[in-house]
Amino acid sequence: MMTSTIGGLARNFWKMAGAGNDFLVFAGTATVGGREAETIRRLCRRGTGVGADGVLFVSEKETAAGARPEVRVDYFNADGGPARFCANGTRCAARFAVLRGLATDELVAHTGWGAIGATVRPDGNVTLRLPEPIALGGSVATFDPEGRQVEPRAASLTVGVPHLVVFCAGDVEVETLDVAALGPALRRHPDLPEGANVNFVSVRGGSRLAVRTYERGVEAETLSCGSGVVASAVVAGAERGQLSPVSVATRSGSALVVGFRLEGSLAHDVTLTGDARVVFEGLLKEEAL
């Protein structure tokens, strides 16, 4: 048996991607302290490591006879810190569980946010049924060093982790924004003590959005953020009249679909559908650590 490297796990891993978010996925539970967090940082570093937005640990969970299979999903950002939830990662974890024989195609994934139902389809797409309700929070001022590129107020809400939803101003398109300049100050907004992922949104016709996200824990723009897509769709439904289901284009070119039912400031029956692709299987070597 090979020596373990992260939290007691073997060196075998899968590289997976969900709508442009990429992950290293390990089978088993994890105990991550300072040493293991540093290992995660090295492995996620692009160029000198494997390269990823985060690391997932997936393990089988005991269930009562006849109950739907359940798995536990532990997620760590590229900076080595734990996060309660990653929507793109949870889709990948659900498909990993099915392909590894830990669960059937209808399962429950237990995350730091709560129990999430998942349906894994033969084509590799996965639908998540999120804990509810998702509540719209207040609004905070935006900071725009580039001039008036975004609306002066941003909506704050939690989809497992904190989010800001910032709409582009006037005829500005999200593709033209300097997210690297706008993102850091908003990610550390003084009104949000935990910080937040920052989602910049353009509204299209026909219940369609385009979203770009600056993610805390990665401290950069990522190609997609599933929980940020959900946050953006719910806010667009509540404030801009977008009707469910909402199709959301991400920077990766992949689209995610969000379903919801609004009752005032609460979103119920929230679902997220998108791809969960296996990129390759790997075996970590000492030089990578």
Question: pLDDT tens for residues 136-183?
Answer: 999 999 998 877 899 999 999 999 999 999 999 988 999 999 999 999
- Predicted pLDDT at 59: 94
Q: Which amino acid is at 86?
A: C
What six digits make up the tokens of 30?
A: 């994890």
| Residue 2 dihedral angles phi and psi, to the nearest 5° | -80, 155
Under CATH, which number does the domain 134-273 receive?
3.10.310.10
Q: Where are the domains of the chain?
A: 12-131+276-288, 134-273
12-131+276-288 placed in CATH 3.10.310.10: yes
How much is the pTM? 0.93
Report the candidate in 93, 85, 68, 81 with the shortest Cα–Cα distance to residue 13: 93
Instruction: Give Cβ neighbours of residue 191 (< 8 Å, ≥ 6 apart).
Output: 140, 141, 156
CB 274 within 8 A of CB 18: yes
- Predicted pLDDT at 81: 94
Q: Which residues are marked as active site?
A: 86, 225
Q: Do domains 12-131+276-288 and 134-273 have the same CATH topology?
A: yes
pLDDT over 90 (residue 3): no
